Chain A
């Protein structure tokens, strides 16, 4: 009798376990991505899409996560719901079709750098422009919106322009300012042909002392690209360099580029959601540094997926996909693989 009672109690255990566990059930419905879509390359150009041109020198995303790209010679384009909407001289008040750089503000305004000045489209669709009348040309290389909301514009041969809310101020005339970045302390870093400059509250001039040059260990003074990554490391790409530099704290070290050759120019540097660092280069395709080794993406090892080896720009969209602008083949979207 005792054994029967014990057996009864023991036989209740599976049922009780079942009830206990379903009370803690938590399964939420999500929009799931197809794993077959990971690790894929998608190409958009003027021939297979509504992208207005194939020279994509600048890419950014706005506050609603739409992509904006420059198409040199064809204005700019906005990518929304799978369609490219173009803005050029024939359908807008853009300053020039020769667009070189692009940025967006937190309020949804779009700043477009051109071969001769800055075009500005507000979120309401109104157009404005700025061209410094005191200079013969204003070829914009780069635009940076700082965390304070200030606008920094790097130019070819005209130094940089600063807009803090009450008009543009002009500094370092005669210097090529190719790249601008901001570190975690709010300092603005300027990559120039004369080394790296650091703005810590006082505007710079042509007599300012660079923060880093060849004498400090840089492989070259001609800095073409900058990135401050999520680990607070400063990455620097160069004109005709074999390596990129990484400043980590006070330590400066060089990373060799995969198949790096003398003619490699690093035009853009970005970090993906995994923490890998991507480099857009001229003649050497795309390079991804995973923290240990560099991985090369070129026409020869990705035939049919990489259309050319000259890349100008990089951006990451809201889903973590990487977008790469080329010099002659439009823009490529890459969905990161799952490993």
Chain B
């Protein structure tokens, strides 16, 4: 569909509105179309801080990780580059870096002669995949309704192969009394190309706007990763071996609905709700293929947009997870600085 739509002749919108850069850059949210203006370049740099203090089990019951002593924090850094090819066609490139460490409860193993303490830390960090997509919106002036579709792909640019663990043995007070510190090092990235298809609908009535979007992701093919095994030698050092395994990522869809209020020309507040669900796919465990568990998460996201200057806008979103299944539900703060300009047009 993207191929067909993108081969349509590019026609500039006829507009009776002034098109000077200042006006376009300071267009408030309730009057802004779903894609950038022709020649507009937008660079977004975001930081999300999430507290992983709760998770949802397979029955959708809430588990407080703080009570189990396994709460953790999550850092996510986003970089996004958008460019308006025309007034209704936009291209985007996006990537991220994230870091997350999960500590498990310390476990003691006793026997007649042994006293072994085991600590486990699992880290997931690294660059994410590169997402490339195009956005196509209605070729009309935005007055009170706009509709857009997005199509693109996550390219497996990240090195997602799990790294060798970096386990250590400490506190050796006797031959059979010591502490084992497991550290498992996983990485980000899907490992395979993943399609992305999305549609977006926006209505504006005076200062109130309602925007909804639907996003669908589907992996292109099966992937392969590695799993590490470790053994402790008699002199308290670790040896490692690995086995490869196959997987098929789950499909996912996400629905977001947001109500915006343009309080002033430079300040917009919103309340959005986001529901994400994944299903399908499988993962191989030592020769057997298991279905991936179905997951879902519902989050309430109050937020705001503050236009500091024509070139700089700050977005702030807070996430409050309300329900879920087989998934973490972290509370998060997401702040994004958006720089806009028309670098090629005078």
Write the residues of chain A forming the contact surface with B, with a CB cutoff of 8 angstroms: 4, 7-8, 10-19, 21-22, 24-28, 30-36, 38, 242, 251, 253, 256-261, 273-275, 291-295, 319-320, 336, 338
Contact = CB atoms under 8 A, between A and B. Distances in A.
Nearest to B326: A35
A292 B230 contact: yes
A153 B236 CA distance: 39
B253 interface: no
Interface stretch (B20-28, B46-54, B67-75, B105-113): B105-113
- Nearest 9 pairs between A and B by C-beta? A15-B3, A11-B6, A291-B231, A26-B221, A273-B286, A14-B134, A7-B85, A292-B232, A14-B2
Contacts of B86: 7
B-side interface mostly:
strand
B153 interface: yes
Contacts of B269: none
A246 to B, nearest CB: 9
What class of interface size applies to chain B in its complex with A? 35 or more
Given A36-B58, A261-B112, A18 B2 contact: yes
B176 interface: yes
Interface of B: 2-4, 6-7, 10, 58, 85-86, 89, 91, 109-114, 116, 118, 132-134, 151-153, 176, 180, 193, 195, 219-222, 229-232, 234, 248, 282-283, 285-293
Contacts of A8: 6-7, 10
Given A12-B7, A16-B3, A7 B89 contact: yes
Contact of B111 (A15, A16, A21, A256): A256
A32 B290 contact: yes
Given A14-B153, A28-B222, 20 more contacts: A7-B10, A8-B6, A8-B10, A10-B91, A12-B3, A15-B3, A15-B6, A18-B153, A21-B195, A25-B221, A33-B288, A34-B290, A256-B113, A259-B110, A261-B112, A292-B232, A319-B288, A320-B288, A336-B285, A338-B285
28 contacts: A7-B86, A8-B6, A11-B7, A11-B134, A13-B91, A14-B2, A14-B134, A14-B151, A14-B152, A15-B4, A18-B3, A18-B151, A21-B153, A27-B219, A31-B289, A32-B282, A38-B290, A242-B112, A251-B234, A258-B109, A258-B111, A261-B112, A291-B229, A291-B231, A291-B232, A292-B180, A293-B109, A338-B290
B286 A21 contact: no
Nearest to B116: A293
Nearest to B182: A292
A249 B220 CA distance: 46
Contacts of B286: 273-274, 320, 336
Nearest to B218: A27
A230 to B, nearest CB: 10
Contacts of B176: 256
Contacts of A257: 111
Given A24-B221, A35-B290, A291-B232, A17 B112 contact: no
B122 to A, nearest CB: 11
Most chain A CB atoms below 10 A, which of B6, B58, B110, B293: B6
B289 A30 contact: yes
B288 to A, nearest CB: 6
Contacts of B91: 10, 13
A258 B116 CA distance: 11
